Amino acid sequence: MLSLYNLIVHFAGFLLKIMALFSPKMKLFVDGRKVVFPVLEQKIKPNDKTIWFHAASLGEYEQGLPVIEKIKVQFPSHKIVVTFFSPSGYEVRKNNTVADVTVYLPLDTKKNAQQFLKLVHPDLVFFIKYEYWPNYLAELKKSNTKTYLISGILRKNQLFFKWYGGFYREALNTFTYFFVQNETSKKLLQQLGKTNVAVSGDTRFDRVATILEKDNSLDFISDFKDNTITIVVGSSWPKDEDLLVNFINSNTFHVKFILAPHNIKEQQIQQLKNSITKKTVLFSEKEGKQLADFDVFIIDTIGILTKIYSYADIAYVGGGFGNPGVHNVLEPATFGVPILIGPNYSHFAEAIALVNIEACVSVANQKELNEALENLIRNDDIRREKGHISSTFVQMNEGATAIILKNILNDYI
C-alpha cells in the first residue's frame, strides 16, 4: 500500500502542475514549493538548533500558536520552523513574527522528506491537530526525532481504522506522544495499542483566551456602532448572506449589522452591497464618512474580524450551510457574545458543546433565523445570559498548552 501511496503522491504532483496553469490558488500551491529548499538552505545553517511545527492551514496554525509561543520562550536558542500545506494558511501567515522560517511543506515523497529533514534537522517536531504524512513520519522515526501530535482529534472513519490502512497505522509509531482533544480520540488510539496518549484538550481555547489581553479597540467600529445593538456576521458564505440580507432588509428593529464575508472579491462584495436596501458602507469606502449614519458595515478586508467581535452584541458565524461546516465560534464566545450558526456543525466539538449548553443557536432556514435574532434583540436578559455562558465555556476549557508543555519539557530535559 505504501508503494501505491507514493505513486499517487507523484501523480498528484504532476496533476497539480497542470491545474496551476488554470487556478491561481493551485499556482500558489505549486510555485510556493519551488523555493522551499533554497530558503531553508539560506536561513538554516548545519549547526543551528531547530524545532519544527506543521499546520495544514490557517486554523491549525492559530490552534498551535499558544504552544509555538511557549516553546519559543523555553528554547530561545532554537530556530522555529513553521510549515503549511495550504495556500490559505501560508499566504495569510507567511510574514508571522513567531517563526524564524515559514515555508510550504513539500509534497510527501521520500526524496522530499529526506531533503527537508536534512536541511531542517529538528530536535522536536509538532504536527497540529492532524495531517499524517507517511514519508515524513518514516524519516523522523529513522532519526529518532521526538515527534508530537498536539490538539489531535481522531475519528472512526479515518484511514487508520480501515482494514487497508496498515501503512498509515505504521506511521503513528513515529509519535513520541499524542496530545488529543477528547476521550474518544484517546480510546481510538488505545484500540490501536497506543498508550502514549493524554487528553490535553484543545489549545484553541488558550489561543482565544489571550485575545482578551490585547487591545481590541477599533475607533471606526465604535463610531459605526454608536451605542446601538450590533450584530456581527463573521466568515459568511452566500447561503448565509441570502438569509441574513432578507432579515436586514425586512426588520424594523433599531439595530446595526457588520458583515465580514469569507470571500472579499470585489464583484461579490458589490453584489452583497447592492442586495441590501438599508444604508450600507464598505470598509474600503469608510474614509470621510459619518459612520454612525449607516445601518450596515461590510468589511472588505481581512485580519480584523477578531477585534470586531469585541463590539458584537450578537454574532452569526458563517459556513454552517456548507461543507465541512461552521467557522470559528470560539472567537465571539471568548468576548461573551451569544452566537448563531447554520445547521452543519457536527464535525466541530466546540460548536456542538456551545449548542448543547444553549450559548449558541443553530438555525436551518429563514424562519428559524428570524425567530432567533428577534428573540435575542428583544430580550436583553437572554442575550446577556447566553453571552455569559459563552465566555464561561471558554474559560473553563483553558489549560491545554500548560499540559502539553509540562509533558514535553519533562520528556526532553
CA distance 218 to 224: 10
Closest listed residue to residue 35, CA positions, set 94, 98, 123, 109 = 94
Before 261, cis peptide (omega within 30)? no
60, 139, 331, 350: which is the annotated catalytic residue? 60
Torsion angle, CA of 160/165/169/170, rounded to 10 degrees?
Answer: -170
CA distance 271 to 295: 17
Contacts of 155 (CB under 8 A, 6+ apart): 188
Cell of 283: 470598509
Cell of 22: 488554470
CA distance 404 to 127: 13
Cell of 90: 501560508
Please return the burial class of 227, using the count of CB atoms within 10 Å of its CB with bins 0-12, 13-18 and 19+.
exposed
60 among known catalytic residues: yes
CA distance 165 to 367: 45
Torsion angle, CA of 390/396/401/403, rounded to 10 degrees?
Answer: -160
CA triplet 217, 218, 222: central angle to 5 degrees?
Answer: 100
State which amino acid sits at residue 132.
Y
Cell of 168: 498509515
CB 140 within 8 A of CB 159: no
Look at residue 245 and give its three-state secondary structure: helix
Residues annotated as part of the active site: 60
